Structures are given as structure tokens and as C-alpha cells.
Chain A
Amino acid sequence: MAVTTLPIALGERLKREARLERAFRLLTLACAVLVLALLGGVAVALAHGSWPALRTFGWAFLVREIWNPVTDEYGALAPLYGTVVTSLIAMLIAVPIAFGIAVFLTETCPRWLRQPISTAIELLAAVPSIVFGIWGLFVLAPLLQHTVQPWLIDVAAPVPGLRQLFQGPPFGIGVLTAGLVLAVMVLPFITSVMREVFLMTPVSLKEAAYGVGATQWEVIWGVVLPASRAGVIGGIMLGLGRALGETMAVTFVVGNAHRISASLIAPGTTISASIANEFTEAVGDLYTSALLALGLLLFAITFVIIAAARLLLLRLELRTQGTK
């Protein structure tokens, strides 16, 4: 009896498990599809919302500096420029510092100091962006206005090229200040990714390099960095993505002026700051649509950057495979 019933029960159990398995697979697929659908939905909604502005202004929307709600004329060049420049300043400052911290933490830091510094950096990542904005406006901006910027203006004045970058009255807030605040904000992200990937470098590789007499710098530049290249680029892109989209902190310190100026200490604006500032009181369809078009633009920029990073990583991978 028992011998005959057992295979039947087993067969049913197997069948049931197969069904469960299929259901589970479908469920995970649904989750993945949901993300894609959300992404597509956002893109479609943005495109639909920005259509009136794009239809009215055409490609000129991308290259015009004007932003005049009174005459209903809009161009995205000033916020576009501000977004790119503030993010560039942030990356120029944050990437080398993050690299330094990561190298220190993984290679030269005494063991007892490692944990406190790592925790401090992680805490920096947990500070809400509005706090950075307030800090930027009330602490950093006066400091820049009274000491740093007058000095910069004086130093740069006799140097052609530099003079244009640091001219005009020192307001304390502006593109440079926004870049500095962003640098502090993206620093922990880039640092923790770099530290993680540096730690993953095989110890045997490093020891071999030290064994043949390489200096610490040579080991880091010649062994650790090539082995962790993909991760380092990923970390930088993560930081860049954050810098491009950051809203509140930038709004506080960027100066919110729809103007392009060669001077880095002059006020400017970014895409997300413009939207945050103007969306609530944007009366009129074209105005709202122009702000949505800015959003679409930011979406596109971020997309292009992520795609470029992927492409870069792919090429690096192919090259390392080729050398093997």
C-alpha cells in the first residue's frame, strides 16, 4: 500500500512545486517589468507634459538663455549650463579627495583609526540635503564672501583667463559655492564605493608587487587601480548622478539667476533648482510645460551619462579580456 501511494504523492508534490516555481518566476518578472513600466511612464509623462513648450520653441529651447515668465519665452541654456558646471566643479574637487581617503583607509591607515573614519564618512552620507543647504547659506557663504572670494579675485586679477573666472562682486553664493557644497555631498558616495573596490583587490597581487620592490604609490597606481577600475568609474558616476539631480542644497546657494556668466562666483541656476523654485507658482500652461521640459532634459542627461559609463566599462572589460 505504502509503496504504491508514495510515488503518487511525490509526483503531486513535484507538480505543485513546479507550479510554485513558475509563479515565483512570474512574480520576479513582474517586479522587473514594473520598474521598466515606471521608467517608461515617467519618460512618457515628462515628454507629454513638455510637448507644448518643445513644440513652441523647438530646438531653440536648448540654446536660448532667455527665461521670461512675463512674455512667456523660455530657453534652457542657463539652467543647463549651471547644472553641468556645478557638477563638474563638484567632481573636480570630490574625486581626488575621495581617492585619497580611500587609499588612506585601505592601505596606510592604522587599524584602530579605520573604523572611526569610515563611520564618519558614512554619517556624512546620511545628512539630509536641506541641512547642507542651510550650512552652505549660513556658514560657507559668509566665509566665502568675506575671506575666500576677495582673495580669489585679487589673486586672479592679473592672470588673463583666470581673471574672467573670478570677477564681479563677491556675493558668497553662486556657481562656485554650489559646486563646493555638492562636492561635500557626493564625497561620501564616491569614497565608500572606492574603498569597497580597493579592498577587493586580491592581496596576493599586491604582495607580489611589493615583493618585486614596488613602492606604495606604484602598487596603488599600477595594481590596485587597474584591478578596480570598473568599480571606481561606477562610484564616480554614482556621485555625478547625485550632483546633477541635487535640488534643495543647490537652491540655497546657487543664486537662482537665469543667466550665464563666465565668472564662477556669479550667481547661476540649475535645472532642478529652477523647477523647485518656480513650479508651485507657475501660472499658465506654457510656463509649466517649459519647467517639465527642463525635467525631461535632466532625465535625458542622466540617461546619457549612465549609458556612457556602461559603454566605457564594457570597452574596458573587452580590452582586459583581449590582453589576457
Chain B
Amino acid sequence: MNKTTTRSVALLSLLAAGALLGGMAAAAEISGAGATFPYPIYAKWAEAYKQKTGIGLNYQSIGSGGGIKQIKAATVTFGASDMPLKPEDVKAAGLVQFPMIIGGVVPVANIPGVKPGQLVLDGATIASIYLGEISKWNDPRIRGLNPKVALPDQAIAPIYRSDGSGTNFLFTNYLSQTNPEFASKIGANTSVQWPVGIGAKGNEGVAAMTNQTSGAIGYVEYAYAKQNKMTYALMKNRDGKLVSPDAKAFQAAAANADWAKSDNYYLILTNQPGAQSWPITGASFILMYRQVKDAAAAGEALKFFGWAYANGAPMAQELDYVPLPATLVKQVEQTWRTAIMAGGKPVWTGK
């Protein structure tokens, strides 16, 4: 009796040691997969974090769909998605969802004689262009928004992202909110059936296509519009105010959003209220398990995210991303404390 207990205790401790070792081995590298949009900033944060702590990040930027599939298959510690999962899906899969970084989508155009920031558009008008209802730049509806701009009698070439992407989701989501016809005929998704226009692959493809096609309109992530010095448009937002795409306007949209009331942070930042809010703003999300099997790996991942919240803002701004507002960070960390558990104890040990 005594002998068997000592033996089982020895066995248990051996197992525990093994688990600990296994956990430590896994902790040397945080594993994640998903969205391509935040990949540059995750990679930059990971590099700085590795220099500081020696712990690296293995992030496969395979797309949001792939990220969701991989976290559901539990092959990675976290998944990343540009499109938030619906609260019921998050719960059904036993996951926790929280925002990590914010970005904006900017409409860009190539009209002879029109300079960056001169053109004014709103959601309903852009939706009509992508529906094929407005086909000329001198259409009265565009002229109505731009009384002072000389718009040519030229065909509009709508350019869209052919690959499924979070950018597509934000853009179509915004157009659906502002134009009921767009909502019923096309809808919002990472890829949709466009009735007109040409598809280009990736932000770089849309940027190139727009820049070399006279009369084109397109939409790209803010960083691409800024770095390629593209002819961006001002947007008339929900409050009817004109806003210019910049970090301040994206942050305003994120700050004005009511995160506290959101269920599992299922909040899409498009068409937010506020005089300064950029209407096509969106967050990129992280997905993790509620009941963690490998507490060490999940703990390291959360430590990395916590470090990025606290120290990553300058790096994010360098790459034209927008860090989360401080109130939102507090709220997310509270979620970590209460929702991500291993053996009944919270995995997140930060302050």
C-alpha cells in the first residue's frame, strides 16, 4: 500500500516534470497563425520582444480564415482574424476574442487633375459606384459632394481586392451600412460577388492598378495609401463631417465605439459616431482558448500581448497602424484575468 503510493507519487512527479519541461520547450516560441493585415506589426513587435526576453514568435500569416481553422484545430496557441467571430461562434468553440491593433481602409482614386485630399466621397456614393449605378466621374451625385472640383466626363474603373481579406470585409461592411441596396445585393464578407470592376490581388495590387488606370477608384489599407502617396479621398462620416484619413481619425473611431457593451468584443468599427471618426476603421482580433491546456504557452502569449499593449505603440505608429486606446487595453486585460483559465487559475499574471 505504502509502496504503491510512493511509486505513484514518483510517477506523478515525473509526469509533472515532463509536462513542465514540455511547457518550457513550447514557451521558447509563441505560436500563432492568421490574418495577413497585422503581420508586419506582429513581426516587428516579435523582433523587439525577442531581443528583450529571448522568446520568439512563430506567426504564420496565412489569412484570417486559416487562422480561425488552426485555432479551432488547436494547432496554435492563438489565432488572428481581421473579421471578428460572432459571439455565439466564439462561445461555441470555447474561445476568447479580443482586439489587438487598429487600422483603416482608405478610398483612393486616379482622376486626371485631382490631387490627394481634394475628392470628397461618402459611403452611399461609393456603394453606388461599386454597384455600377454611377459610372462616370461627373455624375451629379459625385458632383454634389464636390462642388469645387473639376470632375471629367470619364468612365469610372472600380478596382477591388480579388483575394479574400479583412480589408474587403471592412469596406463591404461599411458600404452595406450606408447603402441598403448594396446590403441586399452584395452584402459584407471577406470576399463578395462584385457586379462591376476589376479585381487586383492584395493591397499592392489594388494600389498599382489604381495608380496606372486613369479613372480608377480603389480602396487600400492606410499604410499603402500613405506610402505610395496615392490620391486619397476625404470621407463624409456618420456625423456628416468631412474627415481626412490619419491615425487620429482611426483612433477617434475606436475611442467612440462602445466596447464596454460589446459581447466578446464583437464590434466592427465602421461607420462609428463622432465628428472626427474615420468611417472605415477596423480592429484585428486575437482568438485564444478559454480553458487552456498548455498554460505555459498561453501565459507567454499573453505576456507578449501585454508587452505589446504597453510598449508597442511607437512601433505601430511607425508602420502606420493605430494602437488601441488605453481604456480598451484595460478592458482587454480584465478579460484575460477573468476568462482565460488553466486548472481554475487565471493564466495572465500581469498587474
Contact = CB atoms under 8 A, between A and B. Distances in A.
A281 B213 contact: no
Contacts of A137: 205, 208-209
Interface stretch (A67-75, A159-167, A212-220): A67-75
Interface string A64-83: 00111111000000000000
A95 to B, nearest CB: 29
A236 to B, nearest CB: 30
A69 B200 contact: no
A132 B155 CA distance: 29
Q: Would you call the interface of chain B mostly helix, strand, loop, or mixed? A: loop
Interface of B: 36, 62-66, 68, 83, 155, 157, 162-165, 186-194, 197-201, 205, 208-209, 212-213, 215
Interface string A208-234: 000000000000000000000000000
Interface in A236-284: 251-252, 255-258, 267, 269, 273, 276-278, 280-283
A142 interface: yes
Contacts of A99: none
Contact of A69 (B64, B190, B197, B209): B190
A68 B197 contact: no
A77 to B, nearest CB: 13
Contacts of A267: 197-199
A138 interface: yes
Contacts of A280: 36, 62-63, 65-66, 163-164
A80 to B, nearest CB: 16
Contacts of A269: 162, 199
Query: Of residues A141, A145, A169, A258, which shows the largest number of chain B Cβ atoms within 10 Å of its Cβ?
Result: A169
B163 A277 contact: yes
9 contacts: A69-B190, A141-B212, A252-B205, A255-B198, A257-B162, A257-B194, A269-B162, A277-B201, A283-B164
A278 B198 contact: no
Query: Of residues B36, B188, B192, B193, which shows the largest number of chain A Cβ atoms within 10 Å of its Cβ?
Result: B193
A282 B63 CA distance: 9
B179 to A, nearest CB: 15
Given A69-B192, A278-B191, A169 B157 contact: yes
A67 B193 contact: yes
A256 B65 contact: no
A286 to B, nearest CB: 13
Interface string A272-314: 0100111011110000000000000000000000000000000
Interface string A169-205: 1011110000000000000000000000000000000
Contacts of A257: 162, 194, 197-199
Given A69-B190, A257-B197, A281 B162 contact: no
Contacts of B62: 280
Given A257-B197, A283-B64, 5 more contacts: A70-B187, A137-B209, A169-B157, A172-B213, A251-B201
Contacts of A283: 64-65, 68, 83, 164, 190
A12 B98 CA distance: 74
Contact of A281 (B64, B188, B193): B64
Interface string A97-132: 000000000000000000000000000000000000
A66 B193 contact: yes
Query: Of residues B83, B191, B192, which shows the largest number of chain A Cβ atoms within 10 Å of its Cβ?
Result: B191
Interface in A26-73: 66-71
Contacts of B199: 255-257, 267, 269, 277
Shortest beta-carbon contacts, A-B, top 7: A281-B164, A256-B199, A280-B63, A256-B162, A70-B187, A68-B193, A255-B198
Query: Of residues A257, A273, A280, A281, which shows the largest number of chain B Cβ atoms within 10 Å of its Cβ?
Result: A281
Given A256-B201, A281-B65, A283-B65, A69 B212 contact: no
A118 B107 CA distance: 48
A296 to B, nearest CB: 20
Contacts of B162: 251, 256-257, 269, 273, 277
A277 B209 contact: no
Contacts of A173: 198, 209
B8 to A, nearest CB: 45
Nearest to B135: A169
A248 to B, nearest CB: 9
B192 A70 contact: yes
Nearest to A72: B189
Contacts of B83: 283
B193 A277 contact: no
Contacts of A252: 201, 205
Nearest to B162: A256
